[in-house]
Every structure is written in structure tokens, then in C-alpha cells.
Structure 1
């Protein structure tokens, strides 16, 4: 670790940082590993397509919805206590996954993992803010970002190797081992701190926020199976909207809100919130969708799929740091916007490559997407606290982290639902001349979830080649949507993050480009 990290307000700052980084490393490995193992898990447990989607959605739902409340809990009840509790919950959930008897139990344990991950990350970040100050604090938090980059880059390769050698359950044991090490260090060196100015915890705000995300994810996951106009789906969306309205009312009338909505009057702050959403559509969703395609549709081994995913994720090891250095001379709006445009170009390139081609043909577009996304990825954390008044920086960071994590879960649910709908539409178009299939809906959802074998068994009249063509067509259409969203986000970033956007931010507002 850099010597610049040695300046700490506590005696054990570096050890605390190591504990938080070990806990943080377990999160992306669990995230990418679950996606790579989904095909094998679905075969072993004979899971439906919706159950396969919940392998990721359940983790991301609780991770995203508990992040904001966990940060507030850490301030009120103690940062160490929340971090330790989160690490223990994550470790227990990971260990229990090794003995999961079925898909329902597995998905419930994945949700438990997500809740523990939120508490560990929120509590650990808050603890680090008490251990380091000034430039040392910036470097400490950048180490967490680097740790996430390492996990995202090496997670698929590590998971692929573990699955082939020891089976899919071994990838979750990795999370347990990392968290046990983090726990042993934290119990010894981490000191307990609280925010003396924190009021009682905002339970109504927290519960309404969790309900809003939960019902939205439920509706998105049910829509491909039931139909978008189904009363249950519309009811879930309505409940989500109602919970969100309640949350907004609570937060505008409470003295110490979980979310200070007034920050959204800063145009550049709004622009920063677009960055994690854009990277979700351009990059994060591919971490889930591509392993399903590579293993379940194209027939690659988990190891080969991990190698392909390395082309997408490896740039995260270096590009964010390069972006930070370039930002000293090039406006961050141009770096982030330009990176998103490059990622959109990579997505379009990928849309032109169907299944069955040479493995080497996929490296180019995946690398371009990873490099392009690395620019906004490396800038957005710093920007989140430099575009608002200094006294709002803490709240701004909390909002940004919540946006980043919550948007991942919502985006994954939306994209999975869209792909399933596109595949279902294409299957129905192609099977019209083959007679009536008995399980068209479930077969299409299985295909969208990357289970070509099961789909072909249900739709024998079509054949594997036709189903592969249906999948390729739907996947390309999905990528066109992702290209459009990414380009729209790039345009918004170039406008909203322009230094001229805030004509008079005030003397207490830190504006960096």
C-alpha cells in the first residue's frame, strides 16, 4: 500500500483498510460467480427461467435497497457494529449456499448475502472515513474501488476455474473465506465510532424505500411470464410507485432524512447520477447476460467463458486510474461522455456477432466496451462529492452509492425482462408454421436465460439451429436498445457535467474538471 495512506487518525488505519478491502473483494466475486454458475445451477435444480433470474436479482435487490438504510444505521448504532454484522451475515449466507438443497433456498440465501453485503460496504466505508482524512482518505477509498475492479476482472476467471474443478458451490465458499479473514482483522483493530448528531433511525423512510425497489423488481421479474398487462404485474408496479411516493413525502418532511432530495437541484449532481446508471446498461448487465449466452447457448466451458469475460472486465484494473490522471488536463465531462460513446460502439460491434463464430472474434468488442466504460467508472465516485457544497458532500456520497447499487439491480431486472419478451415474441413468430407448442412461454424464457438444451427439448419442432437464430436476433435487438440508452446518457453527461452548467455554484461548492 502507498505510503500516502500512512496518515491516519487511528493507530490501525491500514489494518482497517485491509479488512474492508477483503470484505469488498468478496462482493464482485459473488456477483460474477453467481452469473457464471447459473446455467449449471439451473440444470441441477431443474429451475424455471424466473428462478434462474432470481439468482442474481435477489442478491442485487437486497444489496441495493439496504445500502441507504445500512449507512444510516452505521451512523446511529456504530460503524464497526454494522460492518461486523454485515460481514457475519454475508459469510453465513455464503457458507449456507454450499448446502442449499434447492433453487428457492438458494435464492433466499442470495438475498441474505445481498443484505450482508450492503451492511458490510456501508459500515466499512463509514469506518474508513473516520480512520483517514484529507488525501489519505481519498487514496483509501480509491483502494476500495481498485479492489472492486480486481474482483470484477478476475472473478469470472476464478469462478470458471473453481466450477470446473470443484463444482459451482465452491465459488460461494470463496466469499466465506474472504469474510472470515476480514472479520478476524476487524474484531482486533477496528474501533467503534458513531455520529453524535444522528437522530433516531428513519424506519418509515427505510421501509418505504425497500418496498419501492422490491415491488419494482418483482413486477419486472414476473412480466415475461405473466405478461406486462397482467393484474399481478400491474399491481406490483403500482405498489412500487405508491411506496416511492410515500418515501418522497417522508424524506421532505423529516428533520434528518435518509435521502436529501434538495441536492437534485444541482444540475451537475444529477449528471453524476447518470454515470452509474449508464455503466449498468453498457457494462454491468453484460456481466450477467454474457456468461449465460457463452455457456448455455454457445456451449463454451465455464473456464472459456471466464476467459472471454476477462476481455470485458480486465480494463477495470487500469483504465479508471488512467481516467483519473487524464482528468487533470481534460474535462471530466468529455472523458466520461467519450468513454460512454466508445462503449456504445463496442455494444454495436458485439450486436453484429452471432453465436457459433470463433471465440477470438468476441475479444475486440468486449475489450472496447470495457475500456470505454472504465472512463466514467474511474471518475464518478470523485465527481459525486465535488459538484455540491462541501457541507453536503457526505450526503451526496451516500446518494451516489445508493444510486449505483440500486440501479444495478433495477437495470438487471429490466434488461432480463426485455430479453425474455424479445425472445418470446421471436419464438411465437417462428413457431407459427410448426404447429402449436405446449410450453412456448416457458421455453422462450428458458432460452432467454441461456438454457438452450431445455428450450430445444420443449420446442422440438423448431430445432436447435432455429432457436439459436431466435436468440441471436433477440440479443442483437437488446444490444441496439443498450446502444441507444448509452448514447443518450453520453449526451446528457456532456451537457449536465459541463463546467458551465452551474453558473454560480457558490463559494462553498467544489467544482472540479
Structure 2
């Protein structure tokens, strides 16, 4: 045996890590790719604009709504078993999407794909918590954060190329093949583990929480189109609040609850949830809003917009791993809070430029945002499972992932509504149109559709509309900067002492070192 070759007992954790990384890569691709393909899907399968939104909404609803239940199932029935079930369901659904012939079946398979992604993601993180410990666990989870970040940041570029070259079905084929590779690795190397104290899944809690989160996500997704005052949106949000109240009441009485509410008494647990939500409005919303502004409002080509976005996302390639390396000298809390402050500074700096496509000016603030968010991104998943007992890692992973995914969907809806409100304030003194017309125009403007705004408000020139939109966007960036600073302060206060550098080595650690070198 070559001395540099890891022993079989060392290779198994590394192959497990590879399997979970592949599964993590499929999740952001499933977010971003189908959104780019909506126009092509509509041309082939038909359907109204509202019907086509369910291509993305169906996945988000089942993925976000089932994550916590998936973590509890992994603790109860075994992390490997649930992971293989989830990634298998995801792969079969993806390959079915490659062959689908109607929009209804497309939406149904997207919902099944989201369920499979939830099962594999939550159980995969829990499995890693059992395979690694100490500093090796920090580096392992930093790889997961890097993989997820790369997929989220660079997925649109890859999927856009594939759609143009081979059609929209190719993105689902790619996801299915990556899922099958992850399934094969997991079947070969992943070690089975479960919570020895688990006494059955808390089905009332799981169902009530899934209902509450699904209603909340559905309401947030429907609000930008229907309006926050629409009776349907109000009913969804009220129903979500009632379901959350029922969930809390059930969990207080359950002998073995899906979510131990007493955990919220611990500042570190609360701090981790705040850290999970922060990237949603500090970074993820920019991945959606900036391309809309660059292409639709500033009129640049998709290729030029891709170059601008690359400045924002490039740090995700290396810095999450560097953050794990820096934990030898600095705590994860210091790195996470410091990264959020850098991100806030970048947002504030970017707010001073009315034309974001001028890359020679905006390059440095965009890079600073990417650098800042990359530091906590590589540490968050490891912190999530480090603040609870090891046996409850599945629950912790499910809660953390739920907070992150639900936070992204809700943040997109709220930030879009905020941008529309800021734009309406700018348009009101310039136009004598009725308030309802102004609100409709502002909602279209928030999507970058300034030509449609001009049709609703014919008295305003395109230059005036562009200036109003740029001013509203600048104010939005300032608001996001303030929110990110507040998040950094909460993280620094609540996570004090968490994620300290750990010098001790574990059996799995040398193998991970060799894989990262």
C-alpha cells in the first residue's frame, strides 16, 4: 500500500462527503435553471404566465416545507436510508422531467423533485456530522457551503448555455445524472446512523409545520403578482399564522417533538438561525435583481450581465474553504460577523453608483460583497450542527436549511415589494396617474420592465423612468446594507464562543486534509 494513500476507513468519510457535495450541487441548479427555462418551456408546452410560475414554485414549496420533517426522519429511520431515498426520488423525478410532455406533469414532477431534494439535503448534512468531528467537520461543511454557493452563483451561466445549446430538457437530464452519481457513492460508502433515543416521528408537528411554511411561502410568492392586500394573499398569511400557532401548541405537549422549542432559549441556536437568514437579503436577492436591472433596465447583453455577475460570485470559488482554514486562528463567530460587515460595506458602496453595468466602477464593491458573504457561507452548515447534541444533527440540519431556504423565498418577495414601494414614491410626484396605476407601474418597474411602465405612464420619458428606477435601487441597497450590519451585530452577540478553533485531530481529519491539499 502506498503510504500517501488513505486507508479504507479514511476513504469512506471522504466518499460520503463527495456524495453529499454532489447532492448539494443539484439543489441550487434546481432553483436557478428552470427559472431561466420558463420562456422555452412555455413555447413548447404552453400555459399562461401564472401557470408557468409553478415550475419554480412547486419545487420551492415542497423543498422548503419538508426540510425540517426530513431532518427528523433522518434521525429516526437512519441518515443513509433517508439520503438514498431522497436522492433516488430526486434523480428519477429529474429524468422524468426530461421526458415530460405536459405542463401539469412538469409541475407534479417538480414537486416530487423538491421533496427528494429536501430528504437528501437534510439527511446528508446529518450524515456528515456523524462522519467528521472537530476541525475536520468544519472543513467538511465548508466544502458543502462552497458547493452550494458555486451552484447558486454559477448555475445560471451553465444552465443558460445548456438551454441555448441543447434545449431546456438538458438541465433536468444533468441534474438527474449528477443525482445518480451521488446515489451510487452513498450506497457504496455512507455509514448508517440514527438517533438512538428517537421514539417515532412527531407526525402532528411535522404536518402542521409543513402546512404553515407552505402557506407562508405560497403567500410570499403570490404577493408580488396579486398584491399584499389581495384577499387570497391575506388568507394564506393568516392560515400560515394559525398553523404556526397550532405547531407550537402541539410541540409543547409532545413527548418527543420534531422541534425542541427549548433550544430557542440558547443564544447560539438563535444566532445560527439569524446567520442562516442573512445571506438571503445580503446576497441571494442580488442574484435575481441585478440581472433584471442589467438586462431589462440598463439594456446590456446577457453576456455582459454575466461578466458583471461573475465579479459578485467569483469569491465563492475559493473563500468558503479559506474561511475553514482561518478557523485555526479565528473563531467562526468572528469570521461570520466580520464577513457580514464586509458585505454591508460593499452594499453601501454599490449604492453610490447609478449605473451598475459600468464594471470598471462597480467591480470592487461587487467583489467586496462576494468576499464578505463567502466567509460565513463556508461555516454556516458546520455551526448549525455544532450547537445541538450530535444525535440531533438531523433536526438541526433541517431547521437550519428550512430557515435558509424559506428565508430566500420570503426575502425575494419582501425585497421586491420594497423596491416597488420605493419606486412608487419616486414616480408619485412625477405623474398624475391614479394610485392603483402607479402601484401597477411600480410593480412592473421592480422587475426591470421600464418599457411597460412607460406604456402605463405615457407622460414620463424613458430617461426619467431610468433615473427614478436607479434612485429607488440605490435606496434599496442602502436598506439592505443596514439590515446586514444589524445581522452582523446579532451574530456577534448570540454566537459568542461558538466555532472556536479546534486543534485536536480526529481519525477522519488527515484524510480530509489530504483531499483539500
> Does the 8 A contact of 1:19 with 1:185 survive in 2?
yes
Distance 1:349 1:142 in 2: 28
- C-alpha deviations, 1:392-450, integer Å up to 9, x for none? 66644443333223322222232233334444555555442xx6799765554343234
TM-score (norm 2): 0.82
- 273-282 or 165-174, larger mean C-alpha shift: 165-174
Paired residues for 1:25-424 under 5 Å: 25-37=25-37, 48=49, 56-98=56-98, 109-131=109-131, 137-190=137-190, 194-355=194-355, 357-387=357-387, 395-424=395-424
Between the aligned partners of 1:260 and 1:413, the Cα distance in structure 2 is 29
Inter-partner Cα distance in structure 2 for 1:152 and 1:238: 32
* Aligned-partner Cα distance in 1 for 2:167–2:225: 30
2:379 match: secondary structure = helix
Gaps of 5+ in 1: 500-509
Q: Which residue of 2 aligns with 1:494?
A: 492
The answer as to whether partners of 2:65 and 2:213 remain within 8 angstroms in 1 is yes
TM-score (norm 1): 0.83
Question: Does the CA-based 8 Å contact 1:71-1:398 persist in structure 2?
Answer: yes
CA-based RMSD of the aligned residues comes to 3.6
Residue aligning to 1:482: 480
Distance in 2 of aligned mates of 1:251 and 1:191: 31
- Following TM superposition, by how much is the alpha carbon of 1:54 offset from its aligned partner in structure 2, in angstroms? 5.7
- Residue 325 of structure 1 deviates from its aligned partner by 3.0
Larger displacement relative to structure 2 (479-488 or 144-153): 144-153
Query: How big is the shift at 1:41?
Result: 6.5
Instruction: Output the CA distance in 2 between the equivalents of 1:167 and 1:353.
Output: 37
Shift of the 461–82 alpha-carbon distance from structure 1 to 2, 3 Å rule, reads farther
Q: Deviations over 1:339-359 (max 9, x none)?
A: 212111211222233347424
- Contact 2:71-2:396 at 8 Å conserved across structures: no
The answer to whether residue 504 in structure 2 is matched with residue 512 in structure 1 is no
- CA contact 2:98–2:172 (8 Å) conserved in 1: yes
- Equivalent residue of 1:314, what SS? helix
Give the length in aligned residue pairs: 498
Check the 8 A contact 1:4/1:136 in 2, yes or no.
Answer: no
Q: Is the 8 A contact 2:85 2:119 kept in 1?
A: yes
Q: In the TM superposition, what is the alpha-carbon distance from 1:282 to its structure 2 partner?
A: 0.5
